Amino acid sequence: MTILLGCGVGFVVWFMARFLAGGFYTVDQNERAVKTRFGRAERVGTATTLDDPIAQSLQDEQRQRYCYPQVRVIRPGGPYFKWPWETVHKVSVATEAMNMATDPEFPSANAEGTVLEAVTKDQLNTGLKGQLRYRISEKNLYAYLFGVKFPIAHVMGYFVSVLRERIANFEAPAPKQLPGDPIAPQVSPAVIGISINDLRKNLSDISDHMSRECASSEARYGIALDASLITGIDPPPDVESALAAINTAYNQVSSDISLAQASADQKIVQSKRAVEIETLKAQAEVEPLTAMAAQLAELKKSGPGVLAAYLRNVRLKLFTQSRRVIQEANHE
């Protein structure tokens, strides 16, 4: 009897030490936790992720597929207590950075996770380099913990597929031609592999496009993509030298056209200035005649003999200034 009593007391002490005392836990500042009871996460009523603004990025046919229940999130602090039949799942919500070529399932892929290959619209294999920043969404912890087996692998696969599709179909927007701008040379894209040039010139636009397209990852997989930054696009080695030579020739043509345009603009300005000068000269010669005509018209209004007297006075003034006068003889 004493032995049984001792075993019972020992079991009670072991149970309290093992489960009750060990049932206390804390949550760090950069962590969030979800508690499950017999494998079922504690829900927030009947609310789902469709009731949250993160679901606005989902298309109509995706809303039912990615409808996850909202769970009670345990925020930083403690100590908290859990029963032996309860399990606490902790995740870090700090923003993390990852090379966009990293494959979480196969680390040796993509040149040890350093370069991501993609095909351009003119069938050239390019190497993409860049980084991806992400964080676990506090608003959709159910999807991260229980909805997807390997969430980061799903997000990276989704990101890579969208990026490769964008690279394969990318076309640079046509530059806006303003009046007076020099005419850009027209070169066939098939000749110079213009897609790589376009991609290099529009890296920020591609990054913005990726951020918009991947906005639904928070509602899909519980991981929010904060930003994607593409830092480099490298063509194949055998294409790099040819592309450099073509770009040099293209730049030379653009320079020659700009110089010709500048010379033509200068000549146009000079011609306009010459026309203005000749116009001013003509106006200067016409102005005295116009003034004299107006003066004669006023004199005519004074009487019928005023103009004859005016002409006689003008002639007398000319006679006084002349040294010799030749007058036609009247033979009548």
pLDDT of residue 236: 66
For residue 43 the two structure tokens come to 């829900």
Identify whether 63 is part of a domain: yes
pLDDT of residue 192: 44
Dump pLDDT digits (tens) for 178-215. Answer: 555 555 545 444 444 456 777 777 777 888 888 888 88
For the cut 50, the answer to whether the pLDDT of residue 27 exceeds it is yes
| Residue whose pair of structure tokens reads 């990293």 in the numeric block | 102
Number of domains in the chain: 2
* Separation of alpha carbons 81 and 267, rounded Å: 87
Residue 270 sits in which domain range?
251-317
For the cut 60, the answer to whether the pLDDT of residue 166 exceeds it is yes
Whether residues 225 and 118 fall in one domain: yes
Q: Looking at residue 203, which CATH number applies to its domain?
A: 3.30.479.30
For the cut 60, the answer to whether the pLDDT of residue 69 exceeds it is yes
For the cut 60, the answer to whether the pLDDT of residue 28 exceeds it is yes
Strand ranges inside the chain, DSSP E: 24-27, 31-37, 40-41, 43-48, 69-71, 77-81, 86-92, 96-99, 116-119, 125-136, 223-234
Regarding pTM above 0.85, the answer is: no
Whether residues 122 and 34 fall in one domain: yes
Whether residues 296 and 195 fall in one domain: no
Identify whether 332 is part of a domain: no
Whether residues 212 and 273 fall in one domain: no
Model confidence at 122, in pLDDT bands (50, 70, 90)?
confident
Dump pLDDT digits (tens) for 138-157. Answer: 888 999 999 888 888 888 88
Whether residues 283 and 202 fall in one domain: no
Least confident of 57-66, 175-184, 262-271: 175-184
Question: Sign (positive/negative) of CA torsion 313, 315, 318, 319?
Answer: negative
